[in-house]
Amino acid sequence: MENMDLIEHIQQKFPRMSKGQKAIATFIMENYDKAAFMTAGALGRTVGVSESTVVRFACVLGYEGYPKLQKHLQEIIKNKLTTVQRLNLMEGLEADKIIDTVLKMEINNLKTTRQDLDINMFKNVVDDLVKARRIFVIGFRSSAPLAQFLVYYLSYIFESPQLITLGTSDIYAQLVHVCHEDVVIGMGFPRYSNQTVEGLRFAKRRGAKIVTITDNKISPLYELADNCILTKSDMNSFVDSLVAPLSIINALIIMAGLARKDYLVENFSVMEQVWREKNVYAKHDFDFMHKDQQGGE
Protein backbone atom coordinates (compact mmCIF):
# COMPACT_ATOMS: atom_id res chain seq x y z
CA MET A 1 0.00 0.00 0.00
CA GLU A 2 3.10 2.24 0.17
CA ASN A 3 2.54 3.85 -3.21
CA MET A 4 -1.25 3.98 -3.00
CA ASP A 5 -2.93 7.27 -2.24
CA LEU A 6 -4.20 6.84 1.31
CA ILE A 7 -7.33 8.92 0.69
CA GLU A 8 -8.25 6.68 -2.23
CA HIS A 9 -7.65 3.62 -0.06
CA ILE A 10 -9.99 4.99 2.63
CA GLN A 11 -12.65 5.65 0.02
CA GLN A 12 -12.43 2.04 -1.17
CA LYS A 13 -12.87 0.70 2.37
CA PHE A 14 -15.55 3.21 3.36
CA PRO A 15 -18.72 1.21 2.42
CA ARG A 16 -17.75 -1.68 4.75
CA MET A 17 -16.85 0.49 7.75
CA SER A 18 -18.84 0.82 10.98
CA LYS A 19 -20.61 4.08 11.81
CA GLY A 20 -17.78 5.23 14.06
CA GLN A 21 -15.13 4.29 11.50
CA LYS A 22 -17.00 6.19 8.81
CA ALA A 23 -16.95 9.28 11.04
CA ILE A 24 -13.18 8.96 11.35
CA ALA A 25 -12.79 8.36 7.62
CA THR A 26 -14.91 11.38 6.73
CA PHE A 27 -12.93 13.65 9.03
CA ILE A 28 -9.60 12.45 7.59
CA MET A 29 -10.74 12.86 3.99
CA GLU A 30 -12.04 16.39 4.66
CA ASN A 31 -9.30 17.51 7.09
CA TYR A 32 -6.26 15.42 6.26
CA ASP A 33 -3.90 18.32 6.99
CA LYS A 34 -5.12 18.40 10.61
CA ALA A 35 -5.72 14.67 11.16
CA ALA A 36 -2.14 13.76 10.24
CA PHE A 37 -0.82 15.50 13.35
CA MET A 38 -3.50 14.45 15.85
CA THR A 39 -3.06 11.64 18.38
CA ALA A 40 -5.51 8.75 18.36
CA GLY A 41 -7.18 10.18 21.46
CA ALA A 42 -7.47 13.68 19.99
CA LEU A 43 -8.88 12.33 16.74
CA GLY A 44 -11.40 10.23 18.62
CA ARG A 45 -12.57 13.17 20.74
CA THR A 46 -12.90 15.36 17.66
CA VAL A 47 -15.22 12.97 15.82
CA GLY A 48 -16.98 11.62 18.92
CA VAL A 49 -15.63 8.07 19.11
CA SER A 50 -13.34 6.21 21.50
CA GLU A 51 -9.58 5.95 21.09
CA SER A 52 -9.94 2.19 20.62
CA THR A 53 -12.24 2.85 17.64
CA VAL A 54 -9.52 4.95 16.07
CA VAL A 55 -7.02 2.12 16.59
CA ARG A 56 -9.42 -0.41 15.03
CA PHE A 57 -9.93 1.98 12.12
CA ALA A 58 -6.19 1.86 11.43
CA CYS A 59 -6.30 -1.93 11.52
CA VAL A 60 -9.18 -1.99 9.04
CA LEU A 61 -6.93 -0.10 6.63
CA GLY A 62 -4.21 -2.72 7.05
CA TYR A 63 -1.91 -1.01 9.56
CA GLU A 64 -0.44 -2.56 12.70
CA GLY A 65 -1.67 0.39 14.73
CA TYR A 66 -2.58 4.05 14.60
CA PRO A 67 1.04 5.38 14.67
CA LYS A 68 1.73 3.52 11.41
CA LEU A 69 -1.36 5.04 9.80
CA GLN A 70 -0.45 8.49 11.08
CA LYS A 71 3.11 8.26 9.78
CA HIS A 72 1.94 7.14 6.33
CA LEU A 73 -0.67 9.89 6.24
CA GLN A 74 1.96 12.50 7.12
CA GLU A 75 4.33 11.28 4.41
CA ILE A 76 1.67 11.20 1.71
CA ILE A 77 0.06 14.54 2.44
CA LYS A 78 3.28 16.53 2.80
CA ASN A 79 3.36 17.01 -0.95
CA LYS A 80 -0.36 17.86 -1.07
CA LEU A 81 -0.45 20.56 1.57
CA THR A 82 -0.66 24.09 0.21
CA THR A 83 1.51 26.76 1.77
CA VAL A 84 -1.51 28.20 3.57
CA GLN A 85 -2.43 24.78 5.02
CA ARG A 86 1.12 24.32 6.27
CA LEU A 87 1.05 27.79 7.82
CA ASN A 88 -2.09 26.87 9.79
CA LEU A 89 -0.44 23.88 11.48
CA MET A 90 1.18 26.04 14.16
CA GLU A 91 -1.49 28.70 14.34
CA GLY A 92 -2.35 29.78 17.87
CA LEU A 93 0.85 28.56 19.54
CA GLU A 94 2.78 30.85 21.87
CA ALA A 95 6.32 31.88 20.93
CA ASP A 96 8.01 29.50 23.36
CA LYS A 97 5.89 26.60 22.12
CA ILE A 98 6.77 27.38 18.51
CA ILE A 99 10.49 27.48 19.36
CA ASP A 100 10.29 24.24 21.36
CA THR A 101 8.31 22.51 18.61
CA VAL A 102 10.71 23.57 15.86
CA LEU A 103 13.85 22.56 17.77
CA LYS A 104 12.36 19.22 18.83
CA MET A 105 11.40 18.45 15.24
CA GLU A 106 14.87 19.34 13.99
CA ILE A 107 16.50 17.14 16.64
CA ASN A 108 14.16 14.30 15.70
CA ASN A 109 14.95 14.82 12.00
CA LEU A 110 18.66 14.46 12.73
CA LYS A 111 18.20 11.39 14.92
CA THR A 112 15.90 9.63 12.47
CA THR A 113 18.16 10.45 9.53
CA ARG A 114 21.16 8.93 11.30
CA GLN A 115 19.23 5.83 12.40
CA ASP A 116 17.96 5.12 8.90
CA LEU A 117 21.09 6.06 6.98
CA ASP A 118 22.61 3.35 4.77
CA ILE A 119 26.33 3.86 5.35
CA ASN A 120 27.45 1.54 2.55
CA MET A 121 25.23 3.34 0.07
CA PHE A 122 26.61 6.66 1.34
CA LYS A 123 30.14 5.40 0.65
CA ASN A 124 29.02 4.33 -2.83
CA VAL A 125 27.87 7.88 -3.52
CA VAL A 126 31.31 9.23 -2.57
CA ASP A 127 32.96 6.64 -4.83
CA ASP A 128 30.66 7.68 -7.68
CA LEU A 129 31.69 11.30 -7.26
CA VAL A 130 35.39 10.48 -7.17
CA LYS A 131 35.13 8.38 -10.34
CA ALA A 132 32.86 10.76 -12.26
CA ARG A 133 34.07 12.67 -15.28
CA ARG A 134 31.78 15.57 -14.42
CA ILE A 135 29.32 16.36 -11.62
CA PHE A 136 26.03 18.20 -12.07
CA VAL A 137 23.77 19.35 -9.23
CA ILE A 138 20.05 20.08 -9.48
CA GLY A 139 18.00 21.69 -6.72
CA PHE A 140 15.24 24.23 -7.21
CA ARG A 141 12.92 26.30 -5.04
CA SER A 142 13.60 25.68 -1.31
CA SER A 143 16.32 23.16 -2.24
CA ALA A 144 18.25 25.75 -4.27
CA PRO A 145 20.38 26.95 -1.30
CA LEU A 146 21.39 23.34 -0.61
CA ALA A 147 22.43 22.84 -4.23
CA GLN A 148 24.43 26.08 -4.24
CA PHE A 149 26.14 25.17 -0.97
CA LEU A 150 27.09 21.72 -2.29
CA VAL A 151 28.51 23.06 -5.56
CA TYR A 152 30.47 25.77 -3.73
CA TYR A 153 32.45 23.19 -1.75
CA LEU A 154 32.62 20.57 -4.49
CA SER A 155 34.35 23.17 -6.65
CA TYR A 156 37.39 22.91 -4.33
CA ILE A 157 37.36 19.11 -4.48
CA PHE A 158 36.54 18.43 -8.15
CA GLU A 159 37.07 20.22 -11.43
CA SER A 160 34.15 22.47 -12.35
CA PRO A 161 31.04 20.86 -10.84
CA GLN A 162 28.05 22.46 -12.54
CA LEU A 163 24.98 23.91 -10.85
CA ILE A 164 21.88 23.55 -13.02
CA THR A 165 19.93 26.79 -12.86
CA LEU A 166 16.66 28.25 -14.06
CA GLY A 167 18.33 31.00 -16.05
CA THR A 168 18.43 31.96 -19.70
CA SER A 169 19.24 28.38 -20.73
CA ASP A 170 16.70 25.68 -19.92
CA ILE A 171 17.66 22.68 -17.82
CA TYR A 172 17.69 20.32 -20.81
CA ALA A 173 20.24 22.45 -22.66
CA GLN A 174 22.46 22.45 -19.57
CA LEU A 175 22.25 18.66 -19.33
CA VAL A 176 22.39 17.78 -23.02
CA HIS A 177 26.03 16.66 -22.88
CA VAL A 178 25.77 14.37 -19.83
CA CYS A 179 26.68 10.74 -20.37
CA HIS A 180 27.35 7.50 -18.51
CA GLU A 181 30.62 8.87 -17.13
CA ASP A 182 28.85 11.69 -15.30
CA VAL A 183 27.01 11.93 -11.98
CA VAL A 184 23.92 14.09 -11.57
CA ILE A 185 22.90 14.93 -8.00
CA GLY A 186 19.29 15.97 -7.48
CA MET A 187 17.68 17.10 -4.26
CA GLY A 188 14.08 17.81 -3.44
CA PHE A 189 11.62 17.78 -0.56
CA PRO A 190 7.86 18.31 -0.29
CA ARG A 191 6.50 19.97 -2.27
CA TYR A 192 8.72 18.37 -4.93
CA SER A 193 9.70 20.52 -7.90
CA ASN A 194 8.59 19.10 -11.25
CA GLN A 195 11.59 20.77 -12.88
CA THR A 196 13.98 18.83 -10.65
CA VAL A 197 12.19 15.57 -11.44
CA GLU A 198 12.18 16.25 -15.18
CA GLY A 199 15.85 17.25 -15.15
CA LEU A 200 16.82 14.00 -13.42
CA ARG A 201 14.64 11.97 -15.75
CA PHE A 202 16.32 13.58 -18.77
CA ALA A 203 19.81 12.96 -17.34
CA LYS A 204 18.92 9.34 -16.62
CA ARG A 205 17.85 8.83 -20.23
CA ARG A 206 21.23 10.25 -21.25
CA GLY A 207 22.90 7.49 -19.24
CA ALA A 208 24.19 9.54 -16.28
CA LYS A 209 24.42 8.00 -12.83
CA ILE A 210 21.74 9.57 -10.66
CA VAL A 211 22.21 10.40 -6.97
CA THR A 212 19.30 11.93 -5.09
CA ILE A 213 18.84 13.47 -1.65
CA THR A 214 15.21 13.39 -0.59
CA ASP A 215 12.93 12.57 2.33
CA ASN A 216 11.33 9.16 1.73
CA LYS A 217 10.66 6.29 -0.65
CA ILE A 218 7.44 7.76 -2.01
CA SER A 219 9.36 10.81 -3.26
CA PRO A 220 9.44 11.03 -7.08
CA LEU A 221 13.21 11.49 -6.79
CA TYR A 222 13.65 8.12 -5.10
CA GLU A 223 12.56 5.98 -8.05
CA LEU A 224 14.93 7.80 -10.43
CA ALA A 225 18.05 7.25 -8.33
CA ASP A 226 20.87 4.76 -8.69
CA ASN A 227 21.75 5.77 -5.12
CA CYS A 228 19.40 7.73 -2.89
CA ILE A 229 20.26 9.31 0.46
CA LEU A 230 17.14 9.62 2.60
CA THR A 231 17.04 12.43 5.13
CA LYS A 232 14.11 13.70 7.16
CA SER A 233 12.76 17.19 6.52
CA ASP A 234 9.60 17.20 8.65
CA MET A 235 8.35 20.59 9.76
CA ASN A 236 4.73 21.33 10.66
CA SER A 237 4.67 24.74 9.05
CA PHE A 238 5.10 26.61 5.78
CA VAL A 239 8.91 26.46 5.85
CA ASP A 240 10.96 23.45 4.81
CA SER A 241 13.34 21.90 7.33
CA LEU A 242 16.82 21.82 5.81
CA VAL A 243 18.83 21.02 8.96
CA ALA A 244 19.17 17.26 8.43
CA PRO A 245 19.62 17.56 4.62
CA LEU A 246 22.37 20.15 5.13
CA SER A 247 24.07 17.92 7.70
CA ILE A 248 24.05 15.04 5.22
CA ILE A 249 25.50 17.32 2.55
CA ASN A 250 28.23 18.42 4.97
CA ALA A 251 29.13 14.79 5.64
CA LEU A 252 29.17 14.09 1.90
CA ILE A 253 31.48 17.06 1.26
CA ILE A 254 33.86 16.03 4.05
CA MET A 255 34.07 12.41 2.88
CA ALA A 256 34.65 13.50 -0.72
CA GLY A 257 37.29 15.97 0.46
CA LEU A 258 39.14 13.29 2.38
CA ALA A 259 39.01 11.01 -0.66
CA ARG A 260 40.60 13.79 -2.73
CA LYS A 261 42.73 15.27 0.04
CA ASP A 262 45.86 16.04 -2.01
CA TYR A 263 43.85 17.90 -4.65
CA LEU A 264 41.84 19.74 -1.97
CA VAL A 265 44.92 20.81 0.00
CA GLU A 266 46.58 22.09 -3.17
CA ASN A 267 43.52 24.16 -4.07
CA PHE A 268 43.07 25.60 -0.59
CA SER A 269 46.77 26.52 -0.42
CA VAL A 270 46.42 28.52 -3.61
CA MET A 271 43.16 30.13 -2.52
CA GLU A 272 44.44 31.09 0.94
CA GLN A 273 47.18 33.11 -0.73
CA VAL A 274 44.71 34.76 -3.09
CA TRP A 275 42.31 35.56 -0.23
CA ARG A 276 45.09 37.28 1.67
CA GLU A 277 46.29 39.25 -1.34
CA LYS A 278 42.79 40.36 -2.30
CA ASN A 279 41.60 41.04 1.27
CA VAL A 280 38.66 38.69 0.79
CA TYR A 281 38.18 38.30 4.53
CA ALA A 282 38.19 40.98 7.21
CA LYS A 283 41.77 41.63 8.30
CA HIS A 284 41.10 41.17 12.00
CA ASP A 285 40.23 37.52 11.33
CA PHE A 286 43.77 36.90 10.16
CA ASP A 287 45.20 39.05 12.94
CA PHE A 288 43.27 37.05 15.51
CA MET A 289 44.44 33.72 14.07
CA HIS A 290 48.03 34.97 13.94
CA LYS A 291 47.96 36.10 17.57
CA ASP A 292 46.34 32.84 18.61
CA GLN A 293 49.05 30.83 16.86
CA GLN A 294 51.73 32.96 18.53
CA GLY A 295 50.07 32.76 21.93
CA GLY A 296 49.19 36.46 21.84
CA GLU A 297 46.35 38.09 23.72
Note the pLDDT tens digit of each residue in 83-110. 555 555 555 567 777 788 788 888 988 9
Burial of 56 (0-12, 13-18, 19+ CB in 10 A): middle
Q: How far apart are CA 106 and CA 118, in angstroms?
A: 20
Q: How far apart are CA 240 and CA 281, in angstroms?
A: 31
Q: Which of 266, 263, 248 is nearest to 126 (CA)?
A: 248
> Do 163 and 124 have their domain in common?
yes
Q: Stretch 210-233: mean pLDDT, rounded?
A: 90
Looking at 77, 95, 124, the residue that finishes a domain is: 77
Report the share of the chain in percent with pLDDT over 70: 85
Tell me whether the omega of the peptide bond preceding residue 191 falls within 30 degrees of 0, making it cis.
yes
Higher pLDDT, 129 or 191: 129
Q: Which of 238, 261, 7 is nearest to 126 (CA)?
A: 261
Judge whether 97 lies within some domain: no
Residue type present at position 163: L
Integer CA distances (angstroms), 260 to 37, 95, 111, 211, 251, in order = 44, 45, 29, 19, 14
> Do 254 and 275 have their domain in common?
no
Q: How far apart are CA 245 and CA 147, in angstroms?
A: 11
- Rounding to the nearest 10 degrees, give the CA dihedral for residues 193, 197, 199, 201: -170
Q: Stretch 277-283: mean pLDDT, rounded?
A: 82
Q: What is the pTM of this model?
A: 0.67
Q: pLDDT averaged over the chain?
A: 84
CATH at residue 22 = 1.10.10.10
**What is the CA 63 to chain-centroid distance, rounded?**
26
**Cβ partners under 8 Å of residue 37, min gap 6:** 74, 89, 236
Q: Stretch 245-254: mean pLDDT, rounded?
A: 95
**Cβ partners under 8 Å of residue 46, min gap 6:** 27, 38
CATH at residue 180 = 3.40.50.10490
Instruction: Give the range of the structural domain holding residue 155, as residue numbers without chain letter.
Output: 114-259
Highest mean pLDDT among 83-92, 114-123, 129-138, 234-243: 129-138
Judge whether 176 lies within some domain: yes
Looking at 77, 92, 126, the residue that finishes a domain is: 77
> Do 43 and 156 have their domain in common?
no
Number of domains making up the chain: 3
How many C-alpha atoms does 122 have within 13 Å on its Cβ side?
A: 18
> Do 45 and 164 have their domain in common?
no
CB contact at 8 A, 57 and 25: yes
In sequence order, what E strands does 161-234 have? 162-164, 183-187, 209-214, 227-230
Cα–Cα–Cα angle for 233, 138, 222, rounded to 5 degrees: 55
Q: Stretch 198-226: mean pLDDT, rounded?
A: 92
The DSSP 8-state label assigned to residue 207 in this structure reads T
